Amino acid sequence: MSDEAVRMTTNGASRSFSPAPLDRSRGLGDFVPAPDDDVLVCRCEEVTKGDIRRAVHDGMYTMTEVRRYLRVGMGLCQGQSCTKLVRRIMAAELGVSPAALDAETSRAPMRPVEMRVLGNEEAAGGADAR
Amino acid sequence: MTDTRTEGVEALGGTADVIVVGAGVIGCATAYNLALRGRSVVVLERDESIGNGGSSRNGGGVRQSGRDARELPLAMYAVEHLWPSLSEELGADVEYVKKGNLRLGKTEHHLEVLQGLAKTGREHGLDMRMLSTDEVRELNPFLSDEVIGASWCPTDGHANPLRTTLAFYRRARALGVRFVTGVDVLGVRTVRGRARQVVTSVGVFEGDEIVLAAGLGTRRLAASVGIDVPMRGLLIEALVTEAEPRMFPQMLGTADADFYGHQTAHGSFVFGGDSGLEESNGYAGGVPTASITAPAICRSIMKYVPRLADAKIVRTWAGWEDECADGVPVISTVDEVPGLTLACAFTGHGFGISPIVGRLVAELCCGEKTTLDVTAFRYDRFRAWA
Nearest chain A residue to B91 by CA distance is A58
Region of residue A22 (left: phi > 0; alpha: psi -120 to 50; beta: else): beta
CB contact under 8 A, B266 and A60: no
User: How confident is the model over B51-86, as pLDDT tens digits?
Assistant: 999 999 999 999 999 999 999 999 999 999 999 999
| d(C-alpha A105, C-alpha B57), whole Å | 13
Are the beta carbons of A118 and B199 separated by less than 8 Å? no
pLDDT number for residue A105:
80
How do residues B26-60 score in pLDDT, each as one tens digit?
Answer: 999 999 999 999 999 999 999 999 999 999 999 99
Q: Is residue B125 part of a domain?
A: yes
Q: Rounded to a whole number, what is the distance in Å from the CA of A58 to chain B's nearest CA?
A: 6
Predicted local distance difference test score (pLDDT) of residue A124: 61
In a domain, A125, yes or no: no
Closest to B95 (Cα-Cα) out of B165, B170, B160: B160
- CATH code: domain of residue A71: 1.10.10.1100
Q: Hey, which residues does B54 pair with through a beta bridge?
A: none
Domain count of the fold of chain A: 1
Q: CA-CA distances (angstroms) from residue B130 to B101, B118, B124, B192? A: 12, 7, 16, 57
**Residues of chain A contacting residue B309, judged by C-beta atoms under 8 Å apart:** 114-116
- Asked if the structure places residue B30 within a domain, the reply is yes
Taking the CA of residue A81 and the nearest CA in chain B, the distance in Å comes to 15
Q: Count of CB atoms within 10 A of residue B233's CB?
A: 13
A114 within a domain of the structure (yes/no): yes
Last residue of a domain, one of B324, B339, B363: B324
Q: Which residues of B touch A6 (CB under 8 A)?
A: 186-187, 189, 199, 224
Any domain includes A8: no
Is the pLDDT at B2 greater than 50, yes or no?
no
Query: Do B259 and B354 belong to one domain?
Result: no
Q: What is the pLDDT of residue A78?
A: 85
Distances B153 to B47, B239, B252, B356 between C-alpha atoms, Å = 36, 24, 11, 20
Do B49 and A62 make contact, defined as CB atoms within 8 angstroms?
yes
Judgement on whether residues B274 and B132 belong to the same structural domain of the protein? yes
Q: B25-36 vs B354-365: helix axis angle to the nearest 10?
A: 50
- The C-alpha atoms of residue B322 and residue B328 are separated, in whole angstroms, by 10
Mean pLDDT, chain A, rounded, equals: 83
3-class SS string, B193-220:
CEEEEEEECCEEEEEEEEEECCCCHHHH
The verdict on B237 and B313 lying in the same domain is yes
The length of chain B in residues reads: 386
A21 located within any domain: no
Which residue is closest to B201 within chain A, CA to CA? Answer: A10
B242 shares its domain with B273: yes
Do B218 and B237 lie in a common domain?
A: no
CATH number assigned to the domain comprising residue B364: 3.50.50.60
Tell whether B226 and B236 lie within a shared domain: no
Same domain? For B213 and B237 the reply is no
Q: Note whether B35 and B169 are within 8 A (CB).
A: no
Nearest CA in chain A to B224: A1
Across the A:B interface, residue pairs with CB atoms under 8 Å apart total 145
> Is B106 within 8 Å of B148 (Cβ atoms)?
yes
Neighboring chain A residues of B316 at a CB cutoff of 8 Å: 107-109
In this structure, is residue B295 part of a structural domain?
A: yes
User: Are A1 and B241 inside 8 Å of each other by CB?
Assistant: no
Judged by CB atoms closer than 8 Å, whether chains meet at B313 and A59 is answered as no
- Is residue B106 in a domain? yes
CA-based radius of gyration for chain A:
21
| pLDDT at res. A127 | 52
In this predicted structure, what is the pLDDT of residue B105? 97
Question: Please, are residues B94 and B86 in contact by the beta-carbon 8 Å criterion?
Answer: yes
A108·B294 Cβ contact <8 A: yes
Q: Are A19 and B289 within 8 A, CB to CB?
A: no
**Most B CBs within 10 Å, among A23, A62, A78, A116, to test the B interface:** A23
Whether residue B244 is found in the same domain as residue B358: no
Q: Are residues B148 and B241 in the same domain?
A: yes
E strand or H helix at B76: helix B72-77
Cβ distance of B241 and A115 shorter than 8 Å: yes
Task: Report whether B211 contacts B33 (CB < 8 A).
Answer: no
Residues of A in Cβ contact (< 8 Å) with B60: none
If we measure between CA atoms, which residue out of B268, B266, B223, B263 comes closest to residue B242?
Answer: B268
Q: What is the largest CA-CA distance in chain B?
A: 70
Residue A62 lies in a domain: yes
* Amino acid (1-letter code) at residue A108: A
* Domain membership flag for residue B95: no
| Residue A121 binned pLDDT confidence (cut-offs 50, 70, 90) | confident
Mutation choice for B interface testing from A14, A44, A65 by most B CBs within 10 A? A65
* Same-domain status, B310 and B332: no
Report d(CA B180, CA B21) in Å as an integer: 10
Q: Which residue of A31, A43, A115, A120 is the best one to mutate when testing the B interface, meaning the one whose CB has the most B CBs within 10 A? A: A115
- Peptide bond just before B84 cis, omega within 30 deg: no
Judge contact between B323 and B231, C-beta under 8 A. Answer: yes
At B261-305, the pLDDT tens digits run 999 999 999 999 999 988 888 888 899 999 999 999 999 999 999
How much is the pTM? 0.93
Residue B227 pLDDT > 60 = yes
Domain boundary residue among B297, B324, B351? B324
- CA-CA-CA-CA torsion for B176, B182, B187, B189, nearest 10 degrees? -40
- The predicted-structure confidence for A8-58, as pLDDT tens digits, reads as follows 333 333 334 567 899 999 878 889 999 999 999 999 999 999 999 999 999
Task: State the CATH number of the domain containing residue B302.
Answer: 3.30.9.10
Minimum distance, in Å, between the CA of residue B13 and any CA atom of chain A: 10
Give pLDDT tens digits for B232-264.
Answer: 999 999 999 999 999 999 999 999 988 999 999
Nearest alpha-carbon partner for B28 in B48, B58, B55, B61: B55
Number of domains within chain B: 2
Residue B40's nearest CA partner among B372, B382, B366 is B366
| Cross-chain Cβ contact A1/B225 below 8 Å | yes
Say if B386 falls within a structural domain: no
The predicted structure's pLDDT at residue A130: 44
Please give the residue range of the domain that contains residue B256.
Answer: 101-154+232-324
B313 and B243 within one domain:
yes
Inter-residue contact B103 to B140 (CB < 8 Å)? no
How far are the Cα atoms of A18, A34, B282 from residue B257, in angstroms, in the given order?
Answer: 36, 50, 20
B281 lies in some domain? yes
Task: Tell me which residue range forms the domain holding A41.
Answer: 27-118
- A70 touches A41 (CB < 8 A): no
CA-nearest residue to B265 within chain A is A71
Decide if B92 is inside a domain. Answer: no
Considering B279, B306, B324, which residue would you say is the last residue of a domain?
Answer: B324
Shared domain for B320 and B240, answered yes or no, is yes
B13, B202 in Cβ contact below 8 A? yes
